[in-house]
Structure 1
């Protein structure tokens, strides 16, 4: 292949972006080392391809350039479906990260599909595991109350972690039981939540939040012990530590709780389009993957309980 997998061959801007992405995969996504190496290798390959063709900016990237690269990868040796799928997943993750960090103005990989049949089913906690995760803390310290409230609201609404940690206090209507969220692409949506989450948030705002602020002001609903906005990485650590304390050994993340929110709604008969609206998916096909999770559960029930299964 005429382009390099070695980052040293890239221009400074591409090296910088690749380094930031690698740190994100390790610190926030908690990828295993071999997965980080595979993802960064795929991204390096693509950046090298662009650089050798005189393109050293990722803005105004066209779909034609993307598909030319994918076609070039398969010219000499057709990659396995899993390899092609991983390569596209890596690039989707890379450009999604750059867009969220405002390093690019648009994400061209939103229009690129994975190879047919390559979608992985999203992981989800069981309802019993969620009950354990959301058991109230034995010691109701200010931080413990805040963490418990955040996790409960996350499961009640299916927010993205970036939406949760930056949620303004003014965005939550405790009387109506709705949150107003400004999500991806500055698209606004309303998400309802139930009495359990509402009561916890109300108690947190009147108690722990006020005491954590120590007389300061903050526009954010959830704050650190310094009265500032919490980072996504810190909330990932909170989620992981709470899960371990609850005896949950799965590799849990805030994103898995979002998956659990959607999966459990559909398991109990929720309308797919309503779940799409709450999750903030632009395309309903993104939400439809959760119906495959539901179908898998139904097959397990049929196999386990049907007399001639």
Structure 2
């Protein structure tokens, strides 16, 4: 197969991701980055994606390991490759999908870091409200924790999608899918305090509808929020490595501990598959085990006689 034919197929695949899968630009870029690794491998080995066999793909997977790519990153690359081969079969470039039997490396069970409500309070209480961005940062942390938003959803949150009287926010998630998420009284209060400060800002044209702004009146970036939360964790004496996503995990875990149905949590988080949400059941199991080890008399190392 000629290089030009391959390029045309990849263009069609990219269009498929955009128009039929409705993926965001960032997600499409990630998929194309993974596919590029496969194309480089094919070029080196004199292979093409139309005639690749399962054995060829297993050799490709082995090379990912040999060049030092970690198990989690290998899984991500192979996920992108599977998507490409499903497209090739769907568009009749191939009769089969050799990735159906392609195994991913075992990554081990990795449970995400979570914060307790008390730790979130410490995070917020450590903010210096005498600084212009202080109240904005409190509102950001509280909205992340109270609504379980992705950081990308937070930076794109608009005033026109806030329904504070009804205690809902409209969120645009992955694949441009919208969902309504309840917002707590505390988050609403922190937002209202921030809106007082926001009303005195000079806002850049085009940024008027964004809820959260930087000091120049423009839209915040994900990196800015990541840096802020890491810095605030140090100020609060939280020594674990946390990120904006930690607050999303904490939101889901708090709901599960409170008795919320897993399907409800799935809808609130905007997960397409329930399997993604099920990790929080493992988190809760871990917490239960810690409680038993700490408090059951057969497990306590030190107890009053």
User: Does the TM-score normalized on the shorter chain lie above 0.5?
Assistant: yes
Q: Is the 8 A contact 2:160 2:209 kept in 1?
A: yes
Which residue of 1 is the match for residue 74 of structure 2?
Answer: 87
Q: Is the 8 A contact 1:121 1:289 kept in 2?
A: yes
Q: Is the 8 A contact 2:181 2:268 kept in 1?
A: yes
Matched, 1:49 2:38: no
TM-fit CA distance, 1:192: 0.5
User: Residues 204, 92 of structure 1: CA spacing in aligned structure 2 closer, same or farther, 3 A cutoff?
Assistant: farther
**For residues 202 and 187 of structure 2, what CA distance do their matches in structure 1 show?**
21
SS of equivalent residue, structure 2 residue 201: helix
Which residue of 1 is the match for residue 125 of structure 2?
Answer: 135
Which residue of 2 is the match for residue 172 of structure 1?
Answer: 162
SS of equivalent residue, structure 1 residue 265: helix
TM-score by length of 2: 0.69
TM-score by length of 1: 0.68
| CA offsets 1:224-276 (integer angstroms, 9 cap, x no match) | 11111011111111111111111112111101111111112112212111111
Between stretches 154-163 and 85-94, larger displacement belongs to: 85-94
SS of equivalent residue, structure 2 residue 285: helix
Matched, 1:209 2:201: no
User: Residues 84, 179 of structure 1: CA spacing in aligned structure 2 closer, same or farther, 3 A cutoff?
Assistant: same
Which aligned pairs between 1:135-214 and structure 2 lie closer than 5 A? 135=125, 137-205=127-195, 207-213=196-202
**For residues 95 and 225 of structure 1, what CA distance do their matches in structure 2 show?**
43
User: Residues 69, 44 of structure 1: CA spacing in aligned structure 2 closer, same or farther, 3 A cutoff?
Assistant: farther
User: Residues 43, 238 of structure 1: CA spacing in aligned structure 2 closer, same or farther, 3 A cutoff?
Assistant: farther
**For residues 186 and 175 of structure 2, what CA distance do their matches in structure 1 show?**
30
Gaps of 5+ in 1: 1-12, 14-41, 97-110
Q: Is the 8 A contact 2:133 2:215 kept in 1?
A: yes
Which residue of 2 is the match for residue 218 of structure 1?
Answer: 208
| CA offsets 1:264-303 (integer angstroms, 9 cap, x no match) | 2112212111111111000011000010000011111112
> Out of 270, 274, 282, which is 2:272 matched to?
282
| CA offsets 1:33-68 (integer angstroms, 9 cap, x no match) | xxxxxxxxx988545224447899xxxx99x97966
TM-fit CA distance, 1:69: 5.8
**For residues 86 and 93 of structure 1, what CA distance do their matches in structure 2 show?**
11
**For residues 126 and 275 of structure 1, what CA distance do their matches in structure 2 show?**
18
**For residues 272 and 157 of structure 2, what CA distance do their matches in structure 1 show?**
20
User: Residues 77, 147 of structure 1: CA spacing in aligned structure 2 closer, same or farther, 3 A cutoff?
Assistant: closer
**For residues 171 and 74 of structure 2, what CA distance do their matches in structure 1 show?**
32
User: Residues 93, 126 of structure 1: CA spacing in aligned structure 2 closer, same or farther, 3 A cutoff?
Assistant: farther
**For residues 103 and 158 of structure 2, what CA distance do their matches in structure 1 show?**
34
Gaps of 5+ in 2: 1-9, 11-33, 84-99, 300-305
**For residues 262 and 155 of structure 1, what CA distance do their matches in structure 2 show?**
9
Q: Is the 8 A contact 1:171 1:180 kept in 2?
A: yes
Q: How many residues align?
A: 248
Q: Is the 8 A contact 1:159 1:279 kept in 2?
A: yes
Which aligned pairs between 1:10-159 and structure 2 lie closer than 5 A? 46-52=38-44, 70-73=57-60, 84-89=71-76, 115=105, 118-135=108-125, 137-159=127-149
SS of equivalent residue, structure 1 residue 134: helix
